Amino acid sequence: MPEKHKRYFLKTKEVKTVLRKASDRLKTDIELMFKDRLDVEVLKTDADEIFLINGRPVLVKAGEYIYPTLRFEEFLNQAPRVVVDMGAVPYVCKGANVMAPGIRRVEGQFEKNSIVSIVDEKHGKPIAIGEILLDAEQVRTVKQGVVVKNLYYVGDHIWNLLKEV
């Protein structure tokens, strides 16, 4: 059964609130990434809200938290990265969290609970968005356990819905 969704534009005041929350969460000024204009639409589903900026799906809101989508290249190009080995890729793409043994390296500086891009080591392509559970130095030294909580990944319901948008 197809998921129901509603699509509508946000008012200027609502746009500012969403962009402020997203900028705080992602630790970057999202408004600066879209220089000329900011037309923000919402694609509301039963579970999530997807924010389209100038027609592109760049943010998703689940509960109270706002995260980037895997199509938000401007953010992904500057975000901290966790590079995983190819053995971890099928598991991450099915929603598994990233475990310490599957991490090849980390790029960039981040604090605990920051949003990171999870990329494969072979192609360097983003395969998931995650929340890091340790700070950068701890990640570089830890040998076991969960390091990144997987939030959204290639092949999940958001990914599939964005293929239609």
- Closest by CA to 100, choosing from 131, 140, 143, 134, is 143
Q: What is the pLDDT of residues 57-68, one digit of tens each?
A: 999 998 888 999
What does the pLDDT read at residue 1?
A: 37
pLDDT at 51: 97
| Global pTM exceeds 0.85 | yes
Write out pLDDT tens, residues 29-52.
999 998 777 899 999 998 899 999
- CA 29/CA 19 separation, integer angstroms: 8
**Residue 88 corresponds to which amino acid?**
A
* Residues 159, 59, 20: CA angle, nearest 5 degrees: 170
Class of domain 5-71: alpha beta
Only one residue has tokens 């293929």, namely 163
- Structural tokens at position 116: 């990171």
**Residue ranges per structural domain of the chain:** 5-71, 75-158
Q: Are 71 and 117 in contact (CB under 8 A)?
A: no
Nearest in space to 152 (alpha carbons), one of 100, 75, 38, 85: 75
**Secondary-structure class of domain 75-158 per CATH:** mainly beta
Q: For residue 36, what pLDDT is reported?
A: 76
- Residue 78 corresponds to which tokens in the numbers above? 């500057």
Question: Which has the closest alpha carbon to 132: 152, 153, 146?
Answer: 146
The DSSP annotation for 136-156 comes to HHHHHH--SSEEEEEEEETTS
